[in-house]
Amino acid sequence: MTGSLYAKFEETFRRLPEKIALRTPAARTWTFAELAAEACRYANALEALGIEPGDRVTVQIDKSPANLFLYLAVLGAGGVYQPLNPAYTESETEYFVSDASPKIAVCAPARQRAMRDLGDRHQVQAVMNLDAEGMGSLADLAARMDARHQTVPRAADDLAGLVYTSGTTGRAKGAMITHDNLISNAEALVKLWRLQEGDTLLHALPVFHVHGLFVAINTALMAGAGILWFPKFDAASAMAHLPQATVLMGVPTFYTRLLEQKSFAKETCRNMRVFISGSAPLLAATHREFSTRTGHAILERYGMTETGMITSNPYDGAREAGSVGHALPGVSVRIRGEQPGVVEVKGPNVFKGYWRLPEKTAEDFTEDGYFITGDVGTLADDGRLAIVGRAKDLVISGGFNVYPKEIEVLLDEMEGVVESAVIGVPHPDFGEGVVAVLAVTDACADETVILGFLKHRLAGFKLPKRIFKVGELPRNAMGKVQKAALRERYREIFKTS
């Protein structure tokens, strides 16, 4: 039926109604038929709240099974899923809501009042809530609904998701992701990674970013794999449940934290088929240590919110440390000019453009239709890509993107701060740690005050882990702040021993 992603999932629901689709660590289970019934109840609830095809539904909640029901319901009702990190402050959240103009917003009960005020300011028709246990006004409404729902037809080019990601300018932009983007990408990955009914995916990623939301959920549901659904990643708990799983998808921090567990070994991974890593560079040292300890070569892949997955190491054959593998089937990757150079990508995976920003969209595509990623790479003759740097000013901390500009603008507002530079330097846990270097006068407040100021305005993962005050920032002949020199100066500060 049509181009709807949900219609693809329905094929699995019909094929495997009695099979366990979802399991929590506390052993609550849902079969695919039960999952479909929940998705239908939630879709009927959204329709009772007035959703129409193409309407955005902003979702800012803690991860629970109900989060999955809601995601499926938005798709089934023909809406556009618009996820937000619950760690965002009120002012961060207001920006997203004002830009996305959702018809419905779903938030944590503790945020209901603030979200309702915000909803009033931005014409949100309904504000509902769901807590970490999946209870709340939306769950109550869904429970009163019919467990059957007629899937709303969608065209391949219609939007399925609106996911915010910041550009080099620091202001977040909504990436318009279509049903076809998601279907083509998930189908390619299912094949490449050999996902199938016999698999169980240990799902511990957040579901407000593409990795946990689209890569993990869509592939598992299409393949008919079971999902072991964790509210968040905790190394000890993940380790305890690994023997029940066959697939793990994680950011590099998952793997370094698993390796820190003393008893993590081959035996823990006895039923595992594949460990997949992405969202940030996996250090070659982590790849090697993991392989020695477990006998598994982590399969690294590379992607972006705007493109879904672009390249992947092979399932069979060498999974090389430091390489992100070949372009997925149907996807073209190139580097124009000299290597290393900026990676460009074209294919059915590439998004439709930035929400309400046609000019910015045009800027980020080449004349012949390639999307300019801002990542710097080298492409070998055999088509293997290695990411060696970034042309964009971006820090990736534990898989979360932090845009220096967003923090610098706030720091520069503070009394006694002449100017600021926010950089990422090697961090043993998060890969990169956020550091702020401030050129200050005597009037500058102390670190606690600075952090307090930022904390009110920014989600916790964006806060600098260290702040340095200096007389002035290093500049090149053009007067531009030399962040590379700063990264070099502070590169050892998070070294453990």
- Footprint of ligand AMP on this chain (CB under 6 A)? 165, 210, 278-281, 300, 302-305, 324, 373, 375, 387, 390, 396, 401
* Cα distance between residue 453 and residue 410, in whole Å: 9
* Cα distance between residue 130 and residue 141, in whole Å: 11
Task: Give the residue with the Cβ less far from ligand MCA, 345 or 473.
Answer: 345
State the binding partner of 65 from ligand AMP, ligand MCA, none, CB within 5 to 8 A by kind. none
Kindly state the smallest distance separating residue 337's Cβ from ligand AMP, in Å.
Answer: 19
The total of other beta-carbon atoms located within 10 Å of residue 350's CB is 23
Task: Give the residue with the Cβ less far from ligand MCA, 416 or 460.
Answer: 460
Residue 175, SS3 per DSSP: strand
State the binding partner of 300 from ligand MCA, ligand AMP, none, CB within 5 to 8 A by kind. ligand AMP
Contact 320, 299 (CB under 8 A): no
* Cα distance between residue 84 and residue 90, in whole Å: 12
Binding residues (CB under 6 A) for ligand MCA: these are: 205-206, 209-212, 232-233, 251, 253, 278-279, 303-305, 397-400, 430, 460-461
* Cα distance between residue 391 and residue 168, in whole Å: 9
Q: Please spell the DSSP secondary structure of 428-476, one letter per residue.
A: TTTEEEEEEEEEE-TTPPPHHHHHHHHHTTS-GGGS-SEEEEES---B-
State the binding partner of 253 from ligand MCA, ligand AMP, none, CB within 5 to 8 A by kind. ligand MCA
Task: Give the residue with the Cβ less far from ligand MCA, 149 or 203.
Answer: 203
State the binding partner of 375 from ligand MCA, ligand AMP, none, CB within 5 to 8 A by kind. ligand AMP
Task: Give the residue with the Cβ less far from ligand MCA, 120 or 234.
Answer: 234
Task: Give the residue with the Cβ less far from ligand MCA, 44 or 184.
Answer: 184
Kindly state the smallest distance separating residue 304's Cβ from ligand MCA, in Å.
Answer: 5
* Cα distance between residue 205 and residue 9, in whole Å: 20
Residue 427, SS3 per DSSP: strand
Kindly state the smallest distance separating residue 223's Cβ from ligand AMP, in Å.
Answer: 22
State the binding partner of 353 from ligand AMP, ligand MCA, none, CB within 5 to 8 A by kind. none
Contacting residues for 15 by C-beta, under 8 A, at least 6 apart: 224
Task: Give the residue with the Cβ less far from ligand AMP, 103 or 301.
Answer: 301
Half-sphere exposure of 354 (CA within 13 A, CB side): 18
State the binding partner of 461 from ligand AMP, ligand MCA, none, CB within 5 to 8 A by kind. ligand MCA
